[in-house]
Structure 1
């Protein structure tokens, strides 16, 4: 029973999204120590784009918050920090990712391109029905999983 979610409230759990309190994820904040280096990685290596109405351009190291966007989905705010915070946690004794990014390009091509650019990556893993993925670390050591999606 330790793995079950226990409802200690007197009301029923929301069963349809109209009853849920949270409508959507509006933004994910990622701690970075060098804004220009982080923008170079997320925009030029992973293909995020910048919103020119929300960001002060040009992006320089004195920008402390920069909004970046994937082709679809939730915006990410890169936040300059003086600490050593990282996106990662341990699960069953192993580091685990916080960001799971679905990629649109061929996974082998994407992996090869990142390796050739000197980006720290893991080998590609084929998880059968869950598809192929590999791990990548941004310049600050944030642990990210790049996933090609479910096989057809």
Structure 2
């Protein structure tokens, strides 16, 4: 591959399956990439940050929620070339639960998201953000076998 410059180097994102019972938290994106699709909370990993720290920070920044029981699930390699500025994102998928079950998601970054809501994993809204759609279509299940969280 030709040298495409520093701006086009792959970026690392941490994305969180925040679970409540058999539901997952999703928001409708307002950014240019994936605009109007439903996506998980998450964002770019900062220098020196662990995946767990990034997951907790991003969920708090985007939804106002505190999370716990944060664990690694999988990683996927995303090359998004059908946009004005092609992107290469390595997405680290994590799973977490609410630290306090009485918390309600807030739309802390309305310029990036239309709002957050809980959706049944077997009845997800459409359209889904590309990487999430790929995972859902593959039969991926973010829920632990012994999921008793509410």
Range into which the TM-score falls when normalised by the shorter chain: under 0.3
- Higher radius of gyration, 1 or 2: 1
Give the TM-score, by structure 2 length: 0.26
Give the TM-score, by structure 1 length: 0.25
